Amino acid sequence: MSPLSESYGIVPGFAIFLLLLVIALAIFANRLYNLYRYLRMGKPDQRLGNLDKRLWTTLWRVLPQICTLREVSPKDRAGLGHFFIFWGFIFFSVSYLFLVADAIKEESAAFILGDGIARGFYTVLEVLGLLVMLAILIAIFRRYVLKPKRLSQTADAAYILSFIFLLMATNFLMEGFRRSMGETILISTPVAGALAQGFSGVAEGTNRILYQVFWWLHIGLLLGFLAYIPHSKHLHILVSPFNIFFRSQRPKGALSPVNLEGAETFGVPKLQDFTWKQLMDLYSCTECGRCQENCPAYLSGKVLSPKKIIVDMKEHLITHGADLLAKAPEGESKLPALIGEVVAEQAIWDCTTCRACQERCPVFIEHIDKIVDMRRNLVLEQSRFPETTGTILKCLEARGHTCRGTTLARTDWFKGQEVKPLAENKEVDLLYWVGCTASLEERNTKVAVAFARILKAAGINFGVLGTEETCCGEPARRIGNEYLFQMLAQQNIETLKRYGVKKIVTTCPHCFNTIKNEYPQFGGEFEVVHHSQYIAELLRQNKLGELKEMKKIAAYHDSCYLGRHNDIYEAPRKVLSHVPGLAVREVAASRTRGLCCGGGGGHFWIEETGGKKISDMRLEQLLETKPELITANCPYCIQMFEDAVKSKGKEESLKVLDLAEVVASLLKK
């Protein structure tokens, strides 16, 4: 007989259950309502396009738990445990409907589903219950004995793990005592049946009492868990599916634009200046630490921890949400400042915008936009930025490039190369966007020369902008000067449209990403390819003929802005696979897990402070393959690695070359 059908004194069991349920739901709903009110403080953000795509991706990420299973490795099976806990939660949620329905009709599951299906359901439920208990024990061991750095040792985590374990344990005990009471049980399952055998010696009256005790204990834990979830870090259970649904559908490499004419503030000085989706990110954080575990700044010992930024902003929002809602200036002045107190200013500048954090985040939290938004405020409103950053911004403003102190002009690299600017020859099939470093930095002009040689060898009719080319604006945007970026972008778009340019090739992934993914925000729609893609296609079509042999061992480095920001991993490898004799050894940390060179996000010009140099860390990873040659596809990476190679005194035995330099040196034409 269901405890809901019995009376305790003059109070019906169902009345007690309803009272507890109403209390739990009231606590649950009140918390969610306040969290929703805090969310609505955020700025508007249109996130409702492509509903079918959004829904499909959400179901695909959530139901099979793709977001956690992809992290499963021989060293870390936490994702597998999360998979069992998630599906245990789903099955147990359904079972509770039957638990309540038992008050109306005993064995309601068998009545509704049929005996066979119900028996199968409860058998799966038991298996999942055991797996969940095992997963919880392993999680406790990992978190409190092994203590991986990415996991915080909080009381909250201990409460949640205890709740879940006790829910499973009381469920088994409840079912075991129920099946040992001597009643006719339609559904027999292995674990409950075994426990019933063990409890067979218990007196019938005692058996019934213990069944009811564990039934109410189980229900009490369940309702307590329900009330506690929105107050805990497991708030992500409720919010993360929505966060995945409302994920950004901009190109991965594109930052959000700023309406410079209509903006009340530039960037984000206060939490409520973020969009509602950026605030939803904070609620969605699972605190798994995967972002931190893959962040090059954090790994090199710098102040930045992407996990800490999100968790600290979440705590600030929840703790001071009511004060922020009051919108009283005198009240706001007493709150901790977002920049400097909630988020360390140095952490904001440590970010290389490499996207490793977002690539590993299971719930689509957008760390980079938040960091750049805070940089925008520091640069455009507070004029606070690293000294070297200010120098580069001044150079960009005054000269249209980032190469401070250079004596080269944009046309020097192609003198004597039979390369013509569009002003002299508009009838071209392809524009080579050279970029600042390849035209004005002595080391990288060799890349421009090599690529031009490849294009000529293939018979490609191409041109350059020459003196009419100015910086694409990428460094200004990542540093936080959105005004300067938009000025440069609009100038370049106007130039490209004036010449009727349709197809552009770049040797710089940063220029590639900006022109391809960000210029469309301002009306600049062009076909853009990276030179690794273009060379791979030329080799596939045999337009370069047979290459000479290169008997060397090479390590290839995935640049962040070609790889994680644009998902281009195969083209560079195809180029290297066409080189006779070249043995390319894959680095352990490669593709989506490749470590940044340290040059992105303006750090090509910002001096690193604190910890180890990121470029030295990455070079050490590359050296594990015992290479004679390091190949890359980005001018920032090449320069960073050459400096790192020199610091290790290996410049005589280890060369760093761009893919274009490798191929051009092997041309027979």
Which band of pLDDT confidence, cut at 50, 70 and 90, is reported for residue 180?
Answer: confident
What pLDDT does residue 625 have?
96
Q: What confidence tens digit (pLDDT) does each residue in 476-488 have?
A: 999 999 999 999 9
Query: Distance between CA 491 and CA 309 in Å, rounded?
Result: 35
Nearest alpha carbon to residue 504 among 523, 524, 488: 524
Mean pLDDT of 25-47: 95
625-645 in b/e burial notation, b at 16+ Cβ within 10 A?
A: bebebbbbbbbbbbbbbbbbb
Mean pLDDT of 132-147: 88
Cβ–Cβ under 8 Å, residues 488 and 471: yes
Task: Please state, in angstroms and as integers, the Cα–Cα distance from residue 545 to each residue in 192, 301, 532, 579, following that order.
Answer: 72, 48, 17, 11
For the domain that residue 320 is a member of, what is the CATH number? 1.10.1060
Quick check: 469 pLDDT over 90? yes
Strand partners, 555: 585, 630
What pLDDT does residue 607 have?
83
Q: What confidence tens digit (pLDDT) does each residue in 259-317 have?
A: 998 878 899 999 999 999 999 999 999 998 999 999 999 999 999 999 999 999 999 99
Instruction: Mark whether 59 and 157 lie in a shared domain.
Output: yes
Quick check: 596 pLDDT over 70? yes
Asked if residue 25 is part of any domain, the answer here is yes
Residue 162 backbone dihedrals phi, psi, to 5 degrees = -65, -45
Asked if residue 249 is part of any domain, the answer here is no
Asked if residue 386 is part of any domain, the answer here is no
Cβ–Cβ under 8 Å, residues 608 and 614: yes
Instruction: Mark whether 163 and 275 lie in a shared domain.
Output: no
Instruction: Mark whether 273 and 352 lie in a shared domain.
Output: yes
Instruction: Mark whether 446 and 355 lie in a shared domain.
Output: no
* pLDDT-wise least confident of 12-21, 129-138, 192-201, 378-387: 192-201
Q: What confidence tens digit (pLDDT) does each residue in 519-573 have?
A: 999 999 999 999 999 999 999 999 999 999 999 999 999 999 999 999 999 999 9
Helix residue ranges, H only, 180-305: 190-198, 204-228, 236-245, 276-284, 290-293, 296-299
496, 525, 554 — which closes off a domain? 525
Token pair of 363 as six digits: 């719930």
Query: Distance between CA 371 and CA 350 in Å, rounded?
Result: 10
DSSP 43: B
What pLDDT does residue 13 have?
85
Contacts 24+ apart (CB under 8 A), 95-101: 95/121, 95/122, 95/125, 96/222, 99/2, 99/219, 100/4, 100/17
User: What is the sign of the dihedral through the CA atoms of 17, 18, 19 and 20?
Assistant: positive
Cβ–Cβ under 8 Å, residues 561 and 594: no
Asked if residue 418 is part of any domain, the answer here is yes
Which band of pLDDT confidence, cut at 50, 70 and 90, is reported for residue 506?
Answer: very high
Asked if residue 396 is part of any domain, the answer here is no
Query: Distance between CA 662 and CA 576 in Å, rounded?
Result: 8
Instruction: Mark whether 406 and 496 lie in a shared domain.
Output: yes
Residue with tokens 């204990």: 217
Q: What confidence tens digit (pLDDT) does each residue in 639-653 have?
A: 999 999 999 999 889
Roughly what angle, to the nearest 10 degrees, separates helices 78-101 and 155-179?
A: 50
* pLDDT-wise least confident of 255-269, 367-381, 469-483: 255-269
Token pair of 249 as six digits: 């559908």
219, 244, 269 — which closes off a domain? 244
For the domain that residue 622 is a member of, what is the CATH number? 3.40.50.10700
* pLDDT-wise least confident of 248-257, 310-319, 396-405, 443-452: 396-405
- The rounded percent of the chain whose pLDDT value lies above 70 is 96
Asked if residue 514 is part of any domain, the answer here is yes
Pairing of strands 7-8, 11-12: antiparallel
Mean pLDDT of 56-66: 86
Instruction: Mark whether 353 and 452 lie in a shared domain.
Output: no
What pLDDT does residue 132 have?
92
Instruction: Mark whether 25 and 117 lie in a shared domain.
Output: yes
Q: What residues have CB less than 8 Å from 263, skipping those under 6 apart?
A: none
Quick check: 333 pLDDT over 80? no
Instruction: Mark whether 429 and 346 lie in a shared domain.
Output: no
Quick check: 72 pLDDT over 70? no
Instruction: Mark whether 630 and 591 lie in a shared domain.
Output: yes
Which band of pLDDT confidence, cut at 50, 70 and 90, is reported for residue 76?
Answer: low
Residue 530 backbone dihedrals phi, psi, to 5 degrees = -90, 150
What pLDDT does residue 328 have?
62
Asked if residue 252 is part of any domain, the answer here is no
Residue 63 backbone dihedrals phi, psi, to 5 degrees = -65, -50
Domains contained in the chain, number: 4
Quick check: 203 pLDDT over 80? no
What pLDDT does residue 350 have?
97
What pLDDT does residue 181 have?
72
Asked if residue 269 is part of any domain, the answer here is yes
Which H or E run contains 31? helix 13-39
What pLDDT does residue 147 have?
84
Count of residues making up the chain: 669
Q: What residues have CB less than 8 Å from 152, skipping those under 6 apart?
A: 287, 289, 311
What pLDDT does residue 609 have?
86
Instruction: Mark whether 209 and 269 lie in a shared domain.
Output: no
Quick check: 209 pLDDT over 90? no
Cβ–Cβ under 8 Å, residues 223 and 20: yes
For the domain that residue 63 is a member of, what is the CATH number? 1.20.950.20
Q: Which of 67-71, 469-473, 665-669 has the highest mean pLDDT?
A: 469-473
Between 298 and 184, the higher pLDDT residue: 298
Instruction: Mark whether 211 and 265 lie in a shared domain.
Output: no
- Rounded mean pLDDT of the chain? 91
458, 493, 525 — which closes off a domain? 525
Full residue range of the structural domain in which residue 630 is found: 540-664
Residue 578 backbone dihedrals phi, psi, to 5 degrees = -85, -5
Instruction: Mark whether 145 and 277 lie in a shared domain.
Output: no
The gap between the terminal CA atoms of the chain, to the nearest Å, is 90
What pLDDT does residue 184 have?
47
Which band of pLDDT confidence, cut at 50, 70 and 90, is reported for residue 1?
Answer: low
